[in-house]
Amino acid sequence: MIDASGIGAYLRESLPCLLQSSNNFLLLGNSQRLQCYSSNANVKIIECAIKPFSLKELFFFPLKTARQINRADLYFSPYFNIPRSVTIPIFTTIHDIIFPDMPELTSKLGLAARMWFYRRAYKKSKKIFTVSEFSKSRIQHHLGTEKPVIVTHSAIQPMFLAYRANIKNIQKTQTIVFIGNIKKHKGLDLLLDAFSLAKKEELPHRLVVIGAKENFRTSDNTVLQKIKSLGGETVTFTGFISDEQIMEYLSKAALLVQPSLYEGFCLPPLEALVLGTPALISNIPVLKEIYSDYPVTFFKSGDSSDLKEKLMELLFNKKTPSIVLSDDLLLKYTFNKTAEMILRELSLNGNTI
């Protein structure tokens, strides 16, 4: 899972901090991909190409690999999938619990399957990690309060801080950036409605969607039609791009808009702010929690008219705030803090994970 999007970043950036401890680690995954960790004296890599949440992981997990795992003191997962035959204490991570909160995102069968995995992880885990107080409250609401749920925030990737240190006199362009997938809870549909209204009032900016247009499904025809109606180069898709390109887009953008209806943490606004770009975000509870101390602008969640008004106020009327983050805000969320919290909760002292 190390190359997944949000979960992957959480794992990639936390892992080096975890490895600095006195504990020994067995890393499961693609041995070539994990080779960069092999120089650590406290690391052993086990080749494991089994897909998370697959039937093989649940029912046919290799006994040899299971025996190697069970020689360790505990099993820690950056997600809530648990291989069969793990008998040592288990600690899992549930980043969010969106499907029972937004059942319209999947079928009844899909919801039932996901709830089975959630409940299985809850039952088998000694402790559960999550990334916000909001997610903690929703996990407890749907799964119960018997197990400890520990908040270990996601955080800004160090490469954004390094990029920030090297940028000078960036010329802002007339672009609005949206980062995310096309699923309903990310709010792209709402943003397109607001953007269309703003264009009718002569907002000169274009919208850049960092993501692939090819990922649209047949059921997304309404969104595609909205994009088509805007015409020309008004809305562009970057397709898959590197982290370096994402940082370039963000640093040059006039504004990042995050119109999410649901999130577990949500990193793009933090990434934008670190690179000196204002963020306009929905006032859903988790974003109010995570960004309460940051110089963001909130709009009413689900309200395209309010989003349009905020767009016009910030861009057309040129009331975009200057973004200056204090050292405290720059370092409020770090993966060093996350790793320290994880290790403290695992209560380890020279053991094997």
Residue 232 is predicted with a pLDDT of 65
The CATH number assigned to the domain holding 277 equals: 3.40.50.2000
Q: Rounded to the nearest 10 degrees, what angle do helices 133-143 and 108-124 cross at? A: 100
pLDDT tens, 55-96?
999 999 999 999 999 999 999 999 999 999 999 999 999 999
Residue 349 is predicted with a pLDDT of 59
Cβ atoms of residues 335 and 14 within 8 Å: yes
Cβ atoms of residues 338 and 16 within 8 Å: no
Residue 240 is predicted with a pLDDT of 82
pTM (2 d.p.): 0.91
For residues 326 and 338, state if they share a domain.
no
Q: Is residue 1 part of a domain?
A: no
pLDDT < 50 regions, the chain: 218-219
How many domains are there within the chain? 2
For residues 131 and 191, state if they share a domain.
no
DSSP string, 281-310: EE--HHHHHHTTTS--EEE-TT-HHHHHHH
For residues 120 and 75, state if they share a domain.
yes
- Please count the residues of the chain: 353
Q: Is residue 132 part of a domain?
A: yes
Place of tokens 């035959």: 85
Place of tokens 């088509």: 228
For residues 91 and 235, state if they share a domain.
no
pLDDT tens, 205-229?
999 999 755 555 544 567 767 777 7
Q: Is residue 123 part of a domain?
A: yes
Q: Is residue 353 part of a domain?
A: no
Q: Is residue 37 part of a domain?
A: yes
Rounded Cα distance, 153 and 164, in Å: 22
For residues 139 and 21, state if they share a domain.
yes
For residues 257 and 205, state if they share a domain.
yes
Q: Is residue 202 part of a domain?
A: yes
Short-list 221, 176, 222, 178, CA closest to 198: 176
For residues 192 and 163, state if they share a domain.
yes
For residues 45 and 192, state if they share a domain.
no
Residue 212 is predicted with a pLDDT of 59
For residues 51 and 89, state if they share a domain.
yes
Q: Is residue 18 part of a domain?
A: yes
Q: Is residue 175 part of a domain?
A: yes
State which residues form the domain around 49. Answer: 6-155+334-346
For residues 124 and 232, state if they share a domain.
no
For residues 194 and 213, state if they share a domain.
yes
For residues 111 and 164, state if they share a domain.
no
